[in-house]
């Protein structure tokens, strides 16, 4: 597929411009990088380094084991882990044999995990031993029992760190006798004598399923092709503004069960020859220290990460001249914070400016960014090459003039194939317009100026973004209302300097004289049974009644305003 020479081309070295998107699998695109610089470091995890040669060798070993297990082209394999080398090896091995990776958040409830595994009829599951106790409670409702592959953090550590880790993290597992469980090293051993066929992955094949609430708040599996993901890897280079990238250092903090973490922070960086630091925990303070200590060149993150970075004790006298690229996405970057970050960068000797971007899982992870040659504070930038953005009147295909707020629609090589086994939702999200092109209707409210810069106004219905995670208020409300003592609930986001927003629940009880502390405990118990850990309320406020609009609906905007204007 050929690329068009847009405004980005004018600001790049023509010799570095890529004329076409890779017509191959994600694995094959990575393998080409390995052939170019096999002895450079590809991944580093807790001090253990893997060269590109070692990365490919590990992927091939996992692919052999998958084939020996009976997994082949088109089969589904679920990955339920944080960022670990084993997860990266497994992802590319799945792609290598033409199977599909089903990426599931490890903090989801057992009920949610079971739903996503069974819906895809996954033939195998990769998870961590420390996550297994949650999965041990599941009785699979599928005809085929998925093979459960347990990896250990210790397996990926340097030899000197393993004894310390194992001493601090002793784990005795109780296995579900109905589960087919195998440990990582034993799994690899099964493929030693297995032959692999030549990779025949097609750019249009589905490579991965990632989960998104889309425009409704109900989690749906987003099907992304090899082309979708490889195209974003191409764009990541073009929009970066860094001419020489091979050997540069980047940080993979964002989780690989999100498009941002998997495709931008891992796949794109590895395809470009970066040295990727893989972090298993979402800890902003640890990341801030690592950025300075390891002199990381490229950092992709959410506003909370950058807010923590400029507050870190080491930042005052730090040399930041090594920072080449900082990109903020996942939530709106406050203008005051953007100015503060740029001042810190300038003081530290960096020529970089933080650049706000925008995207959705339905377009892999990103579709617009502020270009280095013209950064505009308060804007999410301009469209990537070959990506078209337009603002339409909500619920229509009527394009609005510059400056008016409306629904953002996206067209181009980044737009998903559709929602897995959900034709109705796909038909609502992907529409063919009068120009003959397929457009993704995001449900998000934005505006666009005469120069093509977009300005974020509001996420789709009732979305709360906490630390980069999408949390839908209605799901939290439903979980709270399963508590028998609760009559009504309304959940809103409260602004927070570190995480962007925190979850606040306003609750009306059936008996206003009930023991509030006891009820809070019951509510949290109900939430833990039905929600992922990152969706749990941070604060519960009891009210005698909830405010309503003129139409009689709960006025969540009133409560949102009330909690955010309340003085601490």
Per-residue model confidence (pLDDT) at position 548: 73
Q: Where in the chain is the domain with CATH 3.40.50.980?
A: 52-201
Task: Name the band, by pLDDT with cuts 50, 70 and 90, for residue 463.
Answer: confident
Look at residue 422 and tell me whether its pLDDT is greater than 90: yes
How high is the pLDDT of residue 460? 61
551 falls in which pLDDT band (50, 70, 90)? Answer: very low
At the second CATH level, the architecture of 52-201 is: 3-Layer(aba) Sandwich (3.40)
Topology classification of domain 382-458: Luciferase; domain 3 (2.30.38)
Where in the chain are all domains bearing CATH 3.30.300.30? Answer: 463-565
**How far is Cα of residue 528 from the mean position of the Cα atoms in its chain?**
22
Residue 196 has pLDDT above 70, yes or no: yes
Give dist(CA 277, CA 131) in Å, integer. Answer: 23
Higher-pLDDT residue of 527, 171: 527
* Lookup: tokens for 149: 């592959």
Mean pLDDT of the 423-427 span: 96
More confident residue, 475 or 351: 351
Give me the pLDDT at residue 269, please: 97
pLDDT of res. 213:
61
463-565 placed in CATH 3.30.750.24: no
Q: Please report the DSSP string for 509-541 in residue order.
A: ESSTTS-HHHHHHHHHHHHHHHS-GGGS-SEEE
Tell me what pLDDT residue 567 has: 65
Run of H or E including 226 = helix 226-240
- Among the residue ranges 60-64, 210-214, 276-280, 328-332, the one predicted with the least confidence is 210-214
Local structure of residue 399 (DSSP, 8 states):
B
Q: CA-CA distance, 435 to 342, in Å (whole number)?
A: 41
Q: CA-CA distance, 79 to 122, in Å (whole number)? A: 10
Residue scoring higher pLDDT (38 or 335): 38
> Tell me, what's the pLDDT at 217?
54
Residue 215 has pLDDT above 50, yes or no: no
pLDDT at position 554 is 76
Q: Is the pLDDT of residue 161 over 90?
A: no
Residue, of 108 and 39, whose pLDDT is higher: 39
Q: What is the CB-side half-sphere exposure of residue 399 using CA atoms within 13 A?
A: 12
Q: What is the pLDDT of residues 366-411, one digit of tens each?
A: 999 999 999 999 999 999 999 999 999 988 999 999 999 899 999 9
**What whole-number distance in Å separates Cα of residue 256 and Cα of residue 278?**
10
* pLDDT exceeds 80 at position 24: yes
Whether the per-residue pLDDT at 216 is higher than 60: the answer is no
Mapped onto helix, strand or coil, the DSSP state of residue 87 is: helix
Give the model's confidence band at 160: pLDDT under 50 very low, under 70 low, under 90 confident, else very high: confident
Using CA atoms, how far apart are residues 397 and 428, in angstroms rounded to an integer?
12
Q: Answer whether residue 427 shows pLDDT above 80.
A: yes
Residue 214 clears pLDDT 80, i.e. is over it:
no
The SS3 assignment for 76 reads strand
Span 302-324, average pLDDT: 90
**Strand order across the 325-328 sheet:** 48-51, 41-45, 275-278, 249-252, 298-301, 325-328, 354-358, 368-369, 382-383
Average pLDDT value over all residues in the chain: 91
159-168, 222-231, 511-520, range with the lowest pLDDT? 159-168
pLDDT at residue 314 greater than cutoff 70:
yes
Angle, in degrees to the nearest 10, between helices 516-530 and 473-480: 120
Q: Is the pLDDT of residue 45 over 50?
A: yes
Q: Where in the chain is the domain with CATH 2.30.38.10?
A: 382-458
**What pLDDT does 168 receive?**
80
Span 423-451, average pLDDT: 95
Nearest to 44 by CA among 148, 161, 186, 185: 161
């Amino acid at each position: 597929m050929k690329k068009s020479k847009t405004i980005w081309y004018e600001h790049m070295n023509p010799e570095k411009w890529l004329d076409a998107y890779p017509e191959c699998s994600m694995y094959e695109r990575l393998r080409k990088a390995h052939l170019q610089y096999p002895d450079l470091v590809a991944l580093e995890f807790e001090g253990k380094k893997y060269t590109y040669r070692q990365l490919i060798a590990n992927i091939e070993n996992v692919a052999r084991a998958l084939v020996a297990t009976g997994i082949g082209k088109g089969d589904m394999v679920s990955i339920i882990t944080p960022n670990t080398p084993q997860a990266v090896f497994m992802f590319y091995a799945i792609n290598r044999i033409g199977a599909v990776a089903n990426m599931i958040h490890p903090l989801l409830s057992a009920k949610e995990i079971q739903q996503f595994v069974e819906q895809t009829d996954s033939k195998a599951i990769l998870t961590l031993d420390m996550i297994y106790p949650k999965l041990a409670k599941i009785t699979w409702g599928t005809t085929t029992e998925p093979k459960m592959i347990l990896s250990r953090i210790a397996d990926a550590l340097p030899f000197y760190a393993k004894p310390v880790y194992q001493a601090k993290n002793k784990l005795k597992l109780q296995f579900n006798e109905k589960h087919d469980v195998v440990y990582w090293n034993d799994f690899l051993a099964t493929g030693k004598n297995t032959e692999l066929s030549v990779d025949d992955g097609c750019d249009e094949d589905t490579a991965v399923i990632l989960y998104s609430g889309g425009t409704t708040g109900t989690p749906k599996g987003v099907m992304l092709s090899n082309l979708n993901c490889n195209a974003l890897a191409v764009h990541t280079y073009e929009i970066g503004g860094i001419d020489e990238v091979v050997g540069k250092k980047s940080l993979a903090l964002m989780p690989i069960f999100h498009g941002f973490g998997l495709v931008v922070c891992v796949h794109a960086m590895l395809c470009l020859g970066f040295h990727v630091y893989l972090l298993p925990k979402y800890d902003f303070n640890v990341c801030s220290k690592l950025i300075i200590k390891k002199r990381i060149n490229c950092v992709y993150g959410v506003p909370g990460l950058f807010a923590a970075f400029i507050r870190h004790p080491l930042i005052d006298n730090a040399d930041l001249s090594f920072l080449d690229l900082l990109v903020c996405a996942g939530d709106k970057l406050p203008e005051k914070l953007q100015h503060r970050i740029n001042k810190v960068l300038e003081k530290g000797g960096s020529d970089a400016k933080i650049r706000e971007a925008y995207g959705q899982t339905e377009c892999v992870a990103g579709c617009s960014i502020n270009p280095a040659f013209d950064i505009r504070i308060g804007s999410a930038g301009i469209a990537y090459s070959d990506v078209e953005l337009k603002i339409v009147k909500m619920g229509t295909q009527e394009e609005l003039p510059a400056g008016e707020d409306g629904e953002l629609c996206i067209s181009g090589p980044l737009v998903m194939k559709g929602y897995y086994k959900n034709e109705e939702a796909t038909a609502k999200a992907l529409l063919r317009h009068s120009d003959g092109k397929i457009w993704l209707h995001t449900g998000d409210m934005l505006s666009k100026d005469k120069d093509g810069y977009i300005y974020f106004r509001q996420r789709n219905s009732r979305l709360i973004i906490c630390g980069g995670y999408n949390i839908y208020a209605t799901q939290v409300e439903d979980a709270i209302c399963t508590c028998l003592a609760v009559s009504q609930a309304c959940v809103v986001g409260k602004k927070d300097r570190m995480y962007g927003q925190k979850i606040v629940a306003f609750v009306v009880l059936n008996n206003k004289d009930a023991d509030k502390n006891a009820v809070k405990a019951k509510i949290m118990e109900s939430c833990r049974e039905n929600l992922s850990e990152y969706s749990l309320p941070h604060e519960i406020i009891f009210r005698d009644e909830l405010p309503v609009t003129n139409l009689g609906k709960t006025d969540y905007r009133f409560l949102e305003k009330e909690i955010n204007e309340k003085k601490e």
